[in-house]
Amino acid sequence: MACCDATDEQLDFRGVYASGRQGWAVGELEDERKDLSPLLDMIVQHIPPPSVQTGPLQMLVAAMDHSDFVGRIGIGRIIRGKLVSRDRVVLLKRDGRRVNTTVKQLFVFDNLGRRPEPLPIISVDEPTLTMNFMVNDSPFYGQDGHLVTSRKLRERLMRETEKDVAIRVEDTASSDTFKVSGRGILHLSILMETMRREGYEFMVGQPRVIYREIDGRKAEPVEALTVDVPSELTGTVIEHAAARRGELVKMEQDEGHSRLEFRIPSRGLIGFRSRMLRATAGEIAMHHRFFQYEFFKGSIPQRQTGSIISMGQGPAVAFALDALQDRGHFFVEPGELLYTGQVIGEHRKGDDLVVNAQKAKQLTNIRAAGSDRKVRLAPAVQMSLEEALEHIKSDEYVEVTPQHIRLRKSLLREHDRKKELKRMMLTDE
């Protein structure tokens, strides 16, 4: 028996010694090391050539790209036939339609009159989450980004659909709001991060799951979640997943690590990644993909804490933040510019708390014993874009700019929020 429990038969195969960095390959270690010819000769001699199919062109488009000069670009593999410049091809759509078109660089070389033979269509996972992208209307509008108008925002979102087949963009009743659907929080946050780096400035609302109706019953998207984690943390992951209606379907253990497979609702994954990273101190690897729609699995615990909201506009004062530390934890540092209605922290209780974060210490020429106290602020919680999207409630937005990620209320003034709450209560009655 050889090393690694391999048999002699498994070790009986052709091989060469090679160095890619130094650019040589030899059959035996004592041979002269001059080039890669022994490796290339072995490939020709022992690896079978690819099969060649005859007939008209068949090319399966597997990915999309977009160029400002030539437009939409299809990327795929030629299964059969050849491509020759300046000819016409037939594009077979997913819904069965056939479009006669000319490929600017490559096209069919003959047999244009034959009936096209479609290849199996690649399935594309449907969007499971939707969010509203809005023009930024905060008091700090336009201070960071230079692409801030609704026209620029719509053009950029529509351009994304040209190369990302999993993104859906729809207009809404408001000209400043666009409904964007995607394959989860991470998918949409990557789009937002790319846009802010390009100089865009916008707001987004709370992520919402896309429900369907099956046989007259409410159905929701379910994900196949795979988790790799140290074995001692397996119980923590299972406990958190079960609280979010996750069902463990498979578990494998090997050399101190466990691989867990769950079936979990898409809404259960909102906030799950960041919570697991904290609970496992970063020792977790996660991957999920759409599985299928299943009947609604019941309620999932949501955020039970309220928000701490800035009462006024101006820089945050350390004295004021220190006096409010027992009410919750903050997302802002002393000296950071705030505006009215901005969410600056998380309240320990379930209701929202409006505070004066600009309040400074009164200065007098009289000093009383014990009146001076040291300001000891806990470090501010620094949220990533994905964590901010997972944190907000239905009446809150995330303001995304090239330099800042801020949380805010949809209605900035407290008076307007109270009026809206009263209106909703009357409507429910």
Digit-coded pLDDT (tens) for 316-357: 999 899 888 889 999 999 999 999 999 999 999 889 999 999
Checking if the pLDDT of 57 tops 50, the result is: yes
Break the chain down into helix, strand, coil percent, rounded to 5: 20, 35, 45
CATH dotted code for 212-295: 3.30.70.240
Of 10-24, 149-163, 212-226, the one with minimum mean pLDDT is 10-24
pLDDT of residue 373: 60
pLDDT level of residue 367 (50, 70, 90 thresholds): low
184-203 confidence digits (pLDDT tens): 888 898 999 999 999 999 99
pLDDT of residue 261: 94
Residues of the chain with CATH 2.40.30.10: 53-122
Full-model pTM: 0.69
| In contact, 127 and 182? CB cutoff 8 Å | yes
34-43 confidence digits (pLDDT tens): 888 888 888 8
Under DSSP, is residue 324 helix (H, G, I), strand (E, B) or coil?
Answer: coil
Of 2-11, 55-64, 295-304, the one with minimum mean pLDDT is 2-11
319, burial (CB in 10 Å: exposed 0-12, middle 13-18, buried 19+)? middle
pLDDT level of residue 110 (50, 70, 90 thresholds): very low
Rounded distance between C-alpha atoms, residue 219 and residue 46, angstroms: 53
Here the contacts of 48-55 (C-beta below 8 Å, separation 24 or greater) are: 53/79, 53/80, 54/80, 55/80, 55/81, 55/111, 55/117
Helix axes 272-279, 234-243, angle to 10 degrees: 150
Neighbours of 305 (CB within 10 A): 17
Share of the chain above pLDDT 90, in %: 40
pLDDT of residue 112: 41
pLDDT of residue 148: 92
pLDDT of residue 270: 82
269-278 confidence digits (pLDDT tens): 887 887 888 8
372-382 confidence digits (pLDDT tens): 567 788 888 88
Neighbours of 234 (CB within 10 A): 18
Residues of the chain with CATH 2.40.50.250: 306-362+373-428
pLDDT level of residue 409 (50, 70, 90 thresholds): very high
Name the residue type at position 368: A
Residues of the chain with CATH 3.30.70.240: 212-295
| In contact, 61 and 74? CB cutoff 8 Å | yes
Mean residue pLDDT across the chain: 85
| Token pair in block for residue 152 | 């620029």
122-181 confidence digits (pLDDT tens): 777 788 899 999 999 999 998 998 999 999 999 999 999 988 888 999 999 999 999 999
CATH 2.60.40.10 fits 306-362+373-428, yes or no: no
The mean pLDDT value for 60-84 works out to 77
CATH dotted code for 53-122: 2.40.30.10
The mean pLDDT value for 107-121 works out to 52
| In contact, 268 and 245? CB cutoff 8 Å | yes
pLDDT of residue 384: 86
pLDDT of residue 303: 79
| In contact, 301 and 243? CB cutoff 8 Å | yes
Neighbours of 165 (CB within 10 A): 14
